[in-house]
Structure 1
Amino acid sequence: MADSVLDFANPVFASYAAYAGLASMKMMGMMVVTVYYRRMKGVHANPEDTLFTSFGDKGKAVVRTDHPDIERVRRLHLNDLENIPPFLVVGLLYVLTKPSSDVAVWHFRVFLASRMLHTACYLGGLQPWRSIFFVFGYVTTVSMAVQVVAMGSL
């Protein structure tokens, strides 16, 4: 009996699982960074959140949805929410196409590296690098999607 493609004995699936886990942790970590920024700046999105301010003077906590630092981090988190879930779905379908291990691992590596570099550039306001790294990640996901569609049946 053949081994399942979705098994950690399959190096492509094992690699996908590791990179998918790291990308998911990065995306979830952005939520923590957003909360950290809100706490450090004493700026909250909801009135009830000011009750739990642990940094600084509680009396200085305000409700505000337009703080530039917090909005930058929040937009970055939103960008992850728009890009990482498609990678997770398309990447898993790509594993089912039984791609070359080397090619698949490079797809996964390029995607994760591009998201990490995109994050650094987004936080630092570095253009055009932010856009360049975004495009690398996007094209990587599209490349896998094209191969999935080519193997599929319409």
Structure 2
Amino acid sequence: MNGALTAYASCVVVLFLKMFAVSCYQGLFRLRHKAFTNAEDAAVFKRAARDQELAQVIRGSRAWANDLENIPAFFALGGLAIAVNAPAPVTASLSIVFTVARVLHTLAYLKGIQPWRTACYGVGIFCLLGLCASLMKTLLLP
């Protein structure tokens, strides 16, 4: 297994675990406060369903939505970079930096920290653009 594939695969696992942790974060707040918006969930705890989610659950949901706008693109671009044999050091580096940026973005999002949330988002986007450039260079200039 080459270095790019190892880095990419490791990053995919870390990003999955990060997204899973955000789901657990939301569930923890719902359980801790026994606050559910779905009637069937509230009924398990003999509570009435709430009209609105807890603020922490909403923030977690927004972080998740942001992940869904960015992480699938990374999965596709990183996988393609490996499939077309784009330069391994570039693919590995961009994968690692993207992953660190997304983890830090989520932490900043959940804590409501600006400008770090935006900065981490920007770093992630530049990594995606870097993967695009590396792919295009590999495909057009073999």
Count how many residue pairs are aligned between Structure 1 and Structure 2: 140
Q: Does 1:16 align with 2:3?
A: no
Aligned ranges 1:60-139 → 2 under 5 Å: 62-139=49-126
Q: 2:40 aligns with which of 48, 65, 79?
A: 48
- TM-score by structure 1 length? 0.80
The separation in 1 between residues aligned to 2:86 and 2:110, in whole angstroms, is 35
What letter matches 2:56 in structure 1? Answer: D
Q: Deviations over 1:87-134 (max 9, x none)?
A: 111110011232333222211111111011111111111111100001
**Quick check: which one's helix share is greater?**
2
Kept after mapping to 2: 8 A contact 1:122/1:130: yes
Partner residue, 2:20: 28
Letter in 1 for 2:110: L
Identity of aligned residues (%): 27
TM-score, scaled relative to structure 2: 0.86
Q: Secondary structure of 1:45's match?
A: coil
CA distance in 1, matches of 2:38, 2:60: 17
